Chain A
Protein backbone atom coordinates (compact mmCIF):
# COMPACT_ATOMS: atom_id res chain seq x y z
CA UNK A 1 0.00 0.00 0.00
CA UNK A 2 1.50 3.37 -0.93
CA UNK A 3 2.19 5.75 1.93
CA UNK A 4 -0.35 8.51 2.27
CA UNK A 5 1.37 11.84 1.95
CA UNK A 6 1.28 14.39 4.72
CA UNK A 7 -1.51 16.97 4.70
CA UNK A 8 -1.60 20.17 6.67
CA UNK A 9 -3.39 23.47 6.95
CA UNK A 10 -2.82 26.56 9.07
CA UNK A 11 -4.93 29.51 10.11
CA UNK A 12 -4.09 32.59 12.17
CA UNK A 13 -6.89 33.75 14.42
CA UNK A 14 -7.47 36.83 16.54
CA UNK A 15 -7.28 35.90 20.21
CA UNK A 16 -10.93 36.71 20.78
CA UNK A 17 -13.87 34.56 21.92
CA UNK A 18 -15.66 35.12 18.61
CA UNK A 19 -12.76 33.49 16.75
CA UNK A 20 -14.07 30.10 17.87
CA UNK A 21 -16.47 30.37 14.92
CA UNK A 22 -13.56 30.86 12.49
CA UNK A 23 -11.75 27.93 14.10
CA UNK A 24 -14.80 25.73 13.51
CA UNK A 25 -15.07 26.88 9.90
CA UNK A 26 -11.38 26.07 9.45
CA UNK A 27 -11.78 22.51 10.74
CA UNK A 28 -15.01 21.87 8.80
CA UNK A 29 -13.28 22.29 5.43
CA UNK A 30 -10.20 20.16 6.13
CA UNK A 31 -10.43 17.62 3.34
CA UNK A 32 -7.92 15.22 4.90
CA UNK A 33 -10.13 14.51 7.94
CA UNK A 34 -13.13 12.19 8.14
CA UNK A 35 -16.41 13.53 9.62
CA UNK A 36 -15.75 11.66 12.86
CA UNK A 37 -12.20 13.00 13.11
CA UNK A 38 -13.52 16.50 12.53
CA UNK A 39 -15.99 16.09 15.40
CA UNK A 40 -13.25 15.16 17.85
CA UNK A 41 -10.99 17.97 16.69
CA UNK A 42 -13.80 20.52 16.80
CA UNK A 43 -14.61 19.69 20.42
CA UNK A 44 -11.09 19.23 21.82
CA UNK A 45 -9.54 21.98 19.69
CA UNK A 46 -12.34 24.39 20.52
CA UNK A 47 -11.87 23.80 24.23
CA UNK A 48 -8.15 24.36 23.95
CA UNK A 49 -8.61 27.50 21.87
CA UNK A 50 -10.98 28.85 24.54
CA UNK A 51 -8.41 28.14 27.24
CA UNK A 52 -5.67 29.91 25.34
CA UNK A 53 -7.83 32.97 24.78
CA UNK A 54 -9.22 33.11 28.32
CA UNK A 55 -6.22 32.11 30.40
CA UNK A 56 -3.35 33.14 28.15
CA UNK A 57 -4.41 36.76 27.68
CA UNK A 58 -2.91 39.13 26.89
CA UNK A 59 -1.27 37.39 23.93
CA UNK A 60 1.58 39.00 22.08
CA UNK A 61 0.24 40.36 18.76
CA UNK A 62 -3.23 39.28 19.91
CA UNK A 63 -3.13 36.22 17.67
CA UNK A 64 -3.08 32.44 17.79
CA UNK A 65 -1.85 30.28 14.91
CA UNK A 66 -3.53 26.89 14.56
CA UNK A 67 -2.14 24.07 12.44
CA UNK A 68 -3.92 20.81 11.66
CA UNK A 69 -1.85 18.03 10.19
CA UNK A 70 -2.16 14.41 9.23
CA UNK A 71 1.26 12.85 9.05
CA UNK A 72 2.47 10.26 6.62
CA UNK A 73 1.12 6.79 7.09
CA UNK A 74 3.50 4.40 8.76
CA UNK A 75 4.94 1.05 7.68
CA UNK A 76 2.46 -1.57 6.49
CA UNK A 77 -0.16 1.10 5.92
CA UNK A 78 -0.44 2.02 9.58
CA UNK A 79 -2.72 5.03 9.77
CA UNK A 80 -1.01 8.31 10.47
CA UNK A 81 -1.87 10.29 13.60
CA UNK A 82 -3.56 13.65 13.41
CA UNK A 83 -2.06 16.61 15.16
CA UNK A 84 -3.58 19.93 16.09
CA UNK A 85 -1.10 22.55 17.21
CA UNK A 86 -1.57 26.01 18.73
CA UNK A 87 1.18 28.62 18.53
CA UNK A 88 1.06 31.85 20.50
CA UNK A 89 2.97 33.88 23.05
CA UNK A 90 1.24 34.53 26.33
CA UNK A 91 2.45 36.36 29.41
CA UNK A 92 0.66 34.12 31.88
CA UNK A 93 0.11 30.90 29.99
CA UNK A 94 3.58 29.45 30.58
CA UNK A 95 2.82 28.92 34.26
CA UNK A 96 -0.57 27.41 33.41
CA UNK A 97 0.97 25.10 30.83
CA UNK A 98 3.73 23.99 33.17
CA UNK A 99 1.14 23.13 35.78
CA UNK A 100 -0.87 21.09 33.27
CA UNK A 101 2.24 19.32 32.01
CA UNK A 102 3.19 18.34 35.54
CA UNK A 103 0.20 16.07 35.83
CA UNK A 104 -2.85 18.21 35.63
CA UNK A 105 -2.82 19.24 39.27
CA UNK A 106 -3.64 22.74 38.18
CA UNK A 107 -6.77 21.71 36.32
CA UNK A 108 -9.77 22.61 38.38
CA UNK A 109 -12.30 19.90 38.93
CA UNK A 110 -15.74 20.51 37.43
CA UNK A 111 -17.92 22.59 39.72
CA UNK A 112 -21.24 24.37 39.71
CA UNK A 113 -20.91 28.11 39.21
CA UNK A 114 -23.92 29.66 40.99
CA UNK A 115 -23.24 33.12 39.59
CA UNK A 116 -23.64 31.88 36.02
CA UNK A 117 -25.96 28.98 36.91
CA UNK A 118 -23.86 26.50 34.99
CA UNK A 119 -21.49 23.62 35.55
CA UNK A 120 -17.94 24.51 34.53
CA UNK A 121 -14.53 22.94 34.26
CA UNK A 122 -15.12 20.12 31.78
CA UNK A 123 -13.12 21.57 28.92
CA UNK A 124 -9.70 20.14 29.63
CA UNK A 125 -11.20 16.85 30.83
CA UNK A 126 -12.90 16.53 27.45
CA UNK A 127 -9.64 17.43 25.68
CA UNK A 128 -7.73 14.74 27.51
CA UNK A 129 -10.41 12.13 26.83
CA UNK A 130 -10.62 12.94 23.12
CA UNK A 131 -6.93 13.30 22.35
CA UNK A 132 -4.35 10.54 22.53
CA UNK A 133 -1.81 13.01 23.81
CA UNK A 134 -1.80 16.63 24.96
CA UNK A 135 1.55 18.37 25.20
CA UNK A 136 2.12 21.87 26.59
CA UNK A 137 5.39 23.50 25.58
CA UNK A 138 5.91 26.97 26.95
CA UNK A 139 8.84 28.76 25.40
CA UNK A 140 10.64 32.05 25.53
CA UNK A 141 9.74 32.98 22.01
CA UNK A 142 6.62 30.90 21.51
CA UNK A 143 4.21 28.85 23.59
CA UNK A 144 2.89 25.71 21.92
CA UNK A 145 0.18 23.18 22.62
CA UNK A 146 0.00 19.93 20.65
CA UNK A 147 -3.03 17.66 20.61
CA UNK A 148 -2.54 14.29 18.96
CA UNK A 149 -5.55 12.24 17.86
CA UNK A 150 -6.01 8.63 16.86
CA UNK A 151 -6.88 8.39 13.18
CA UNK A 152 -10.16 6.77 12.28
CA UNK A 153 -9.61 3.07 11.61
Chain B
Protein backbone atom coordinates (compact mmCIF):
# COMPACT_ATOMS: atom_id res chain seq x y z
CA UNK B 1 0.00 0.00 0.00
CA UNK B 2 1.15 3.52 -0.74
CA UNK B 3 2.22 5.60 2.20
CA UNK B 4 2.64 9.33 2.61
CA UNK B 5 6.20 10.56 2.34
CA UNK B 6 7.26 14.08 3.35
CA UNK B 7 10.78 15.44 3.14
CA UNK B 8 11.69 18.89 4.43
CA UNK B 9 14.25 21.04 2.61
CA UNK B 10 15.64 24.41 3.54
CA UNK B 11 15.77 26.53 0.42
CA UNK B 12 16.62 30.23 0.42
CA UNK B 13 15.34 30.87 3.97
CA UNK B 14 12.15 29.02 3.16
CA UNK B 15 11.04 25.55 4.19
CA UNK B 16 9.95 23.34 1.32
CA UNK B 17 7.93 20.25 2.15
CA UNK B 18 8.07 17.81 -0.73
CA UNK B 19 5.07 15.56 -0.32
CA UNK B 20 4.22 12.37 -2.15
CA UNK B 21 1.54 9.72 -1.75
CA UNK B 22 -1.96 9.97 -0.30
CA UNK B 23 -3.03 12.62 2.20
CA UNK B 24 -6.12 10.95 3.55
CA UNK B 25 -7.92 10.41 6.84
CA UNK B 26 -5.35 7.79 7.82
CA UNK B 27 -2.15 9.62 6.87
CA UNK B 28 -2.95 13.30 7.39
CA UNK B 29 -1.59 13.57 10.94
CA UNK B 30 2.00 13.36 9.67
CA UNK B 31 1.19 16.07 7.12
CA UNK B 32 -0.47 18.18 9.83
CA UNK B 33 2.48 17.88 12.20
CA UNK B 34 5.11 18.81 9.62
CA UNK B 35 3.15 21.66 8.03
CA UNK B 36 2.25 23.31 11.36
CA UNK B 37 5.81 22.96 12.61
CA UNK B 38 7.20 24.51 9.43
CA UNK B 39 4.80 27.44 9.28
CA UNK B 40 5.62 28.31 12.90
CA UNK B 41 9.28 28.63 11.95
CA UNK B 42 9.51 30.18 8.49
CA UNK B 43 7.91 30.86 5.13
CA UNK B 44 6.65 27.49 3.93
CA UNK B 45 5.90 25.94 0.57
CA UNK B 46 4.38 22.51 0.06
CA UNK B 47 5.26 20.75 -3.17
CA UNK B 48 2.21 18.62 -4.01
CA UNK B 49 3.14 17.40 -7.47
CA UNK B 50 3.24 13.78 -6.34
CA UNK B 51 0.26 13.75 -4.01
CA UNK B 52 -2.11 11.04 -5.19
CA UNK B 53 -5.14 11.97 -3.04
CA UNK B 54 -6.07 14.96 -0.90
CA UNK B 55 -8.94 14.34 1.49
CA UNK B 56 -11.02 16.81 3.46
CA UNK B 57 -8.74 16.17 6.44
CA UNK B 58 -5.77 17.38 4.38
CA UNK B 59 -7.72 20.39 3.19
CA UNK B 60 -8.56 21.22 6.79
CA UNK B 61 -4.85 21.22 7.59
CA UNK B 62 -4.08 23.50 4.63
CA UNK B 63 -6.77 25.97 5.71
CA UNK B 64 -5.41 26.10 9.24
CA UNK B 65 -1.88 26.55 7.86
CA UNK B 66 -3.13 29.51 5.82
CA UNK B 67 -4.51 31.07 8.99
CA UNK B 68 -1.33 30.30 10.93
CA UNK B 69 0.65 31.97 8.16
CA UNK B 70 -1.38 35.14 8.59
CA UNK B 71 -0.90 35.03 12.35
CA UNK B 72 2.84 34.44 12.25
CA UNK B 73 3.49 36.66 9.25
CA UNK B 74 5.04 33.79 7.32
CA UNK B 75 4.25 32.97 3.72
CA UNK B 76 2.48 29.78 2.74
CA UNK B 77 2.03 28.30 -0.72
CA UNK B 78 1.02 25.10 -2.48
CA UNK B 79 3.46 24.40 -5.30
CA UNK B 80 2.64 22.56 -8.51
CA UNK B 81 -0.37 20.57 -7.28
CA UNK B 82 -1.19 17.28 -8.98
CA UNK B 83 -4.50 16.82 -10.77
CA UNK B 84 -5.83 14.95 -7.73
CA UNK B 85 -4.98 17.90 -5.49
CA UNK B 86 -6.51 20.45 -7.88
CA UNK B 87 -9.71 18.42 -8.10
CA UNK B 88 -9.91 18.16 -4.30
CA UNK B 89 -9.30 21.89 -3.78
CA UNK B 90 -11.88 22.82 -6.41
CA UNK B 91 -14.42 20.42 -4.91
CA UNK B 92 -14.63 22.60 -1.79
CA UNK B 93 -16.34 25.29 -3.86
CA UNK B 94 -13.65 27.87 -3.13
CA UNK B 95 -10.61 26.45 -4.89
CA UNK B 96 -9.50 29.90 -6.02
CA UNK B 97 -8.85 30.95 -2.41
CA UNK B 98 -5.95 28.55 -1.96
CA UNK B 99 -2.44 29.98 -2.52
CA UNK B 100 -1.44 27.80 -5.47
CA UNK B 101 1.62 28.49 -7.61
CA UNK B 102 3.11 26.57 -10.49
CA UNK B 103 6.74 26.87 -9.48
CA UNK B 104 8.70 27.78 -6.37
CA UNK B 105 9.98 30.91 -8.12
CA UNK B 106 6.46 32.33 -8.04
CA UNK B 107 6.30 32.20 -4.25
Partner-B contacts on A (CB < 8 A): 17-18, 20-22, 24-25, 28, 35-36, 39-40, 42-44, 46-47, 50, 112-113, 117-123, 125-126, 129-130
Contact = CB atoms under 8 A, between A and B. Distances in A.
A129 B91 contact: yes
Contacts of B26: 17-18, 20-21
Contacts of A129: 90-93
A118 B52 CA distance: 21
Interface stretch (B9-17, B55-63, B96-104): B55-63
Given A46-B55, A118-B64, A119-B59, A39 B24 contact: no
A23 B62 CA distance: 23
A20 B91 contact: no
Contacts of B18: none
A46 B55 CA distance: 7
B86 to A, nearest CB: 9
A20 B24 contact: yes
Main SS class of interface, A: helix
A13 to B, nearest CB: 12
A112 B52 CA distance: 25
Contacts of B88: 43, 126
B69 interface: no
A24 B24 contact: yes
Contact of B2 (A25, A118, A119, A120): A25
Contacts of A121: 56
Contacts, number: 89
Contact of B60 (A28, A40, A119): A119
A43 B53 contact: yes
Given A118-B32, A129-B91, A36 B83 contact: yes
Contacts of A22: 1
B53 A24 contact: yes
B72 interface: no
Nearest to A44: B91
B55 A120 contact: no
Contacts of B6: none
B107 interface: no
Contact of A40 (B2, B57, B59, B87): B87
Contacts of B25: 17, 20, 46, 50
A118 B64 CA distance: 6
Contact of B91 (A17, A113, A126): A126
A129 B60 CA distance: 17
